Amino acid sequence: MLQKQIQERLSSMQSRIHPGFQKSLQRRFITIWIAAALSISGGLLLHRQGYPLLGWVLSGLFGILVLGGLLYLSWRLHHVKCLECGGKTRTRKDATRTQWVAQCEQCQIEWDLQTGAGGD
Ligand SMILES: [Zn+2]
């Protein structure tokens, strides 16, 4: 009987919404894309204006921003701190809701990151 209760407790994590995660991720996503858009259009403009070297520098910056930005966002997604204990969580897909969740084994809380697993 007791064992069953323990098992139930282990399998049924408390689900809570992680406040602010989605917004902060979205904000970063938008910032990165604006910077990337500015660098590629700036690069093209400089090419046309007769500054190919500067144009290439900005085009390179565009590549770095996109690649680095995506790496950074995925790093953020997989390094979510538990709001309850401040400890590390494990980020995984919630298959049924196709959302990302961060699980804290210590608190038995599943933080709903409100971010789609499709990569939006
Ligand atoms: Zn915790």
119 CA distance to ligand 1 middle (Å): 25
21 CA distance to ligand 1 middle (Å): 16
Beta-sheet pairing, 109-116 with 14-17: parallel
Domain count along the chain:
1
Domain membership of residue 48 (yes or no) is yes
Q: Which residues of 24-52 are buried (b: 16+ CB within 10 A; e: fewer)?
A: ebeeebeebeeebeebbebbeebbeeeee
Domain membership of residue 85 (yes or no) is yes
111 CA distance to ligand 1 middle (Å): 10
Q: What is the pLDDT of residues 36-52, one digit of tens each?
A: 999 999 999 999 999 99
| Identity of residue 64 | I
What is the domain range of residue 88? Answer: 14-116
Average pLDDT, the chain: 90
23 CA distance to ligand 1 middle (Å): 21
This prediction has a pTM of 0.77
Domain membership of residue 7 (yes or no) is no
